[in-house]
Structure 1
Amino acid sequence: MSKADVIVIGGGIAGVSAAAELAADASVLLLEAEPQVGYHSTGRSAAVFIRNYGNATLRQLNAAAAPLLEAPEGVSDRSLLSPRGELIIATDVELPALDEYADGATGLERLTAHEAQELVPILRADRIAAAVIEWDAQDIDVNRMLSGYMRLLKRRGGRVVTGARVEWIEKSGPAWQVRAGGNLYEGACVVNAAGAWSGIVGEMAGAVDPKLQPLRRSAAILPAPAGHDPRRWPVVANAAESWYAKPEAGKLMVSPADEDPVEPQDAWVDDMVLAEGLHRFEQAVTVTVDRVEHSWAGLRTFAPDRTPVVGYDPHTDGFFWLAGQGGYGVQTAPAMARLTADLVTGRVASIDPACLAALSPARFVA
């Protein structure tokens, strides 16, 4: 039996970054079901840091993560962020959604239809009733981030086992025993960072049920529009969140922003959903989609209130939740990793009590 102080289940960016932070003060073992870390949501992320993305709790996490992404000490020798910007456009019927997004947001600038079109020349100005831009939205170098946290974890003595899908979890006296990939592991604390499988892992442990739901999100790579170089364009999305487009290596990544409930799985693209989303994108621009070079899908897992689940389980001693990151997992990972290390090791968390309560799995106790 292999033993550690903390067993982290899940090798996405949430689990890897938390394991790296925990390894500064404890022996850590990370178990990943797939043959490599970052295989599912982390490796399929749109990878944009947007400070105003999410509800009030998530915006606090975004603010806490920003300085760690800009100066990732121990993870990289330079910022993980680079300039991009995010432009949100609205038709007449989408104006209430745009106003709702802007409510409580910071750093937004209102633009006219003509100004929006100057930033993204393929947009149809006659379809834009209003627009806002967040100049400070930035691309995240996810590969460098994940590999940097992996190096930090190993440098601090942490161990990583891949191909170790969890088969059962059981509390044995003061310790947890976890069987994964046919092997047995033991630790005083289990951190559940299993992404779309977090609900299943929690059920194995007899923990509270946060009603986590994986939602499929699709995307496609399109050739650059003829006569245009999109590399300096901002991300552009409609206020109704029914499509978005992001420059990607001189091409365009377009997503229908779909959120179809599915079981935890290696997600695949629904061709009809993708086609409908590309059609919505075509209605907002002056070009047509003639060719899709590549398409894929990933899973974004949410609790019903769309707030992550972070903290010790209220029913099950030593079982810690780090789940429900939805579409915010990459950009909030540095903050949630620090928070996880603080709470697991008993340090005072730097997040305010109201935010801690909003994240706590205790909110799911009737």
Structure 2
Amino acid sequence: MSDRVYDFAIVGAGMAGASLAAELAPHAKVLVLEAEDTPGYHSTGRSAAFWEECYGGPGVVPLTLASGRYLRENGFLRERGALYVGRGEDRELLDEFVQTFDGTGVTIERLDAEELKQRVPAIRNDWCDAIWEAACADIDVAGLHQDYLRRLKASGADIVCRAQVGELKRSKGVWQITTVVGDVFSASNIVNAAGAWADPIAQMAGATPLGITPYRRTVVQLRVTPQAPADLPLVLDINGDFYFKSDNGRLWLSPHDEIPTQACDAAAEEIDVARVIDRFQRVTDWNIEAVERRWAGLRSFAPDRLPVYGADPEVDGFFWFAGQGGFGIQTAPAAARLGAQIILGHEADELTRGIDRTAYDPRRFLHLERAPNPSQVSSDM
């Protein structure tokens, strides 16, 4: 057991925990606890790696746009462009999509069948309507994550891997954190950045779980003929049934699935792979030569599908930084800065100015029924 009492112990060293630690560390003594052998093993390491202005909906747009400036200025984006595509019967959906993002700051435009065909020559003729989002870009996810890990260490934060949390107790204003292998750490505050494990961590602390649900997302890597062009945009079905993009001459294809699951080391299911390949063959004229890789990752959403940043309304010294769905990578810079400002009580700066932090406050879930943790109640007495 270490005698050191940290100001903040962050649970999780994926993009969420690492980015927040990098923002907090210049102002406080920070410890990051990671259950796996290396940081970023789960969602961060399995991201489809794109920054897309509309992803997550209007409530996420302010975080995405603010983060986009940071990512571009620091060399983490490579421009690609995105197309939301549909058939003739999807025109109304495409119109509604444009209306949904009107006034949000997102830049999109409608394309006709000829313009769509120019950008995706292999698309079949019945896919004849599209929305073009020029700003969409690939994210250097590994580079961004490593930059945050470097920054947090340079600011004096400690990171401990193979440190799965087994028990949380609070006494006299200090949390005692015991890992499953018996290591013990102390901190004045805990920040829950545990992704798919956010609700179980909250339960250990005696906080009300917020209904943050993990969902499985499948991706396959295909070798196709003719070879996928390097400048192929990210192509997304307006109905949400697939998306694909090129990567080093290959295609990354996803059924855009969200299958509720337990927090786990996710793996692709054969039925999901077969389903998306069938869809893909109905959309394009590419010939699939081989399925070279398949994988799955977890994305975790709160019930209203907005992230959760801030102090738990019932448990002192417990903060949330979770529920970031599949947009946690693309919003990381603004989210981490905003999260640190909320936790430290700091005002907004140039990066976060104009973002409504109340939209992400855990107190919006106060109607949830609390299930007290007896060990937490007794430890505080």
Q: Normalized against structure 2, the TM-score is what? A: 0.91
Offset from partner CA, 1:209-228 (integer Å, 9 cap, x none): 210110000010001x3233
Shift of 1:360: 0.8
- Deviation larger for 94-103 or 135-144: 94-103
Cα gap change, 1:352 to 1:156, in 2 (>3 Å): closer
Question: Corresponding residue for 1:360?
Answer: 361
Corresponding residue to 2:42 among 24, 40, 43: 40
Question: Corresponding residue for 1:100?
Answer: 96
The separation in 1 between residues aligned to 2:130 and 2:197, in whole angstroms, is: 38
Kindly provide the amino acid, as one letter, of the partner of residue 299 in structure 1.
L
Question: Corresponding residue for 1:313?
Answer: 312
The separation in 1 between residues aligned to 2:355 and 2:229, in whole angstroms, is: 41
Offset from partner CA, 1:116-153 (integer Å, 9 cap, x none): 111111111x2224101111101100111011111111
Corresponding residue to 1:82 among 78, 83, 93: 78
Q: Is the 8 A contact 1:50 1:138 kept in 2?
A: yes
In the alignment, structure 1 segments of 5+ residues that lack a partner are 73-78
Q: Is the 8 A contact 1:85 1:134 kept in 2?
A: yes
The separation in 2 between residues aligned to 1:287 and 1:56, in whole angstroms, is: 34
Question: Corresponding residue for 2:215?
Answer: 215
Shift of 1:349: 3.2
Kindly provide the amino acid, as one letter, of the partner of residue 359 in structure 1.
Y
Kindly provide the amino acid, as one letter, of the partner of residue 55 in structure 1.
G
Q: Is the 8 A contact 1:312 1:321 kept in 2?
A: yes
SS in 2 for 1:289: strand
Kindly provide the amino acid, as one letter, of the partner of residue 49 in structure 1.
W
Identity percentage over the alignment? 40
For 1:60-75, what aligned pairs fall within 5 Å after superposition?
A: 60-72=62-74
Shift of 1:289: 2.9
Kindly provide the amino acid, as one letter, of the partner of residue 363 in structure 1.
R
Shift of 1:162: 0.3
Offset from partner CA, 1:13-63 (integer Å, 9 cap, x none): 010010011001001100000000010000000111111222222001112
Cα gap change, 1:120 to 1:353, in 2 (>3 Å): closer
Question: Corresponding residue for 1:137?
Answer: 136
Question: Corresponding residue for 2:113?
Answer: 113
Cα gap change, 1:241 to 1:300, in 2 (>3 Å): same
Offset from partner CA, 1:183-224 (integer Å, 9 cap, x none): 11111111100010011101111113210110000010001x
Kindly provide the amino acid, as one letter, of the partner of residue 212 in structure 1.
I
The separation in 2 between residues aligned to 1:17 and 1:197, in whole angstroms, is: 18
Offset from partner CA, 1:262-311 (integer Å, 9 cap, x none): 00000011111121111111111012434200100000100111101111
SS in 1 for 2:230: helix
| Number of equivalent positions | 358
SS in 2 for 1:82: strand
Q: Is the 8 A contact 1:208 1:364 kept in 2?
A: no
Offset from partner CA, 1:249-274 (integer Å, 9 cap, x none): 22100001111100000001111112
Question: Corresponding residue for 1:184?
Answer: 184
Offset from partner CA, 1:322-341 (integer Å, 9 cap, x none): 10100100001111110111
- Deviation larger for 350-359 or 298-307: 350-359
Matching of residue 146 in structure 1 with residue 145 in structure 2: yes
Q: Is the 8 A contact 2:227 2:250 kept in 1?
A: no
Question: Corresponding residue for 2:52?
Answer: 50
Offset from partner CA, 1:164-196 (integer Å, 9 cap, x none): 001011111111111124211111111100010
Kindly provide the amino acid, as one letter, of the partner of residue 13 in structure 1.
M
Offset from partner CA, 1:87-117 (integer Å, 9 cap, x none): 1101133333322322225211211112111
Q: Is the 8 A contact 1:208 1:365 kept in 2?
A: no
The separation in 2 between residues aligned to 1:99 and 1:185, in whole angstroms, is: 54
Cα gap change, 1:96 to 1:186, in 2 (>3 Å): farther
The separation in 2 between residues aligned to 1:354 and 1:285, in whole angstroms, is: 40
- Deviation larger for 109-118 or 20-29: 109-118
Corresponding residue to 1:29 among 24, 28, 31: 31
The separation in 1 between residues aligned to 2:170 and 2:93, in whole angstroms, is: 47
SS in 1 for 2:130: strand
- Which structure has the highest helix share of the two? 1
The separation in 1 between residues aligned to 2:226 and 2:329, in whole angstroms, is: 33
Shift of 1:233: 0.7
The separation in 2 between residues aligned to 1:118 and 1:240, in whole angstroms, is: 22
Question: Corresponding residue for 1:10?
Answer: 12
The separation in 2 between residues aligned to 1:311 and 1:99, in whole angstroms, is: 36
Q: Is the 8 A contact 2:87 2:126 kept in 1?
A: yes
For the aligned residue pairs, the C-alpha RMSD in angstroms reads: 1.5
Kindly provide the amino acid, as one letter, of the partner of residue 366 in structure 2.
V
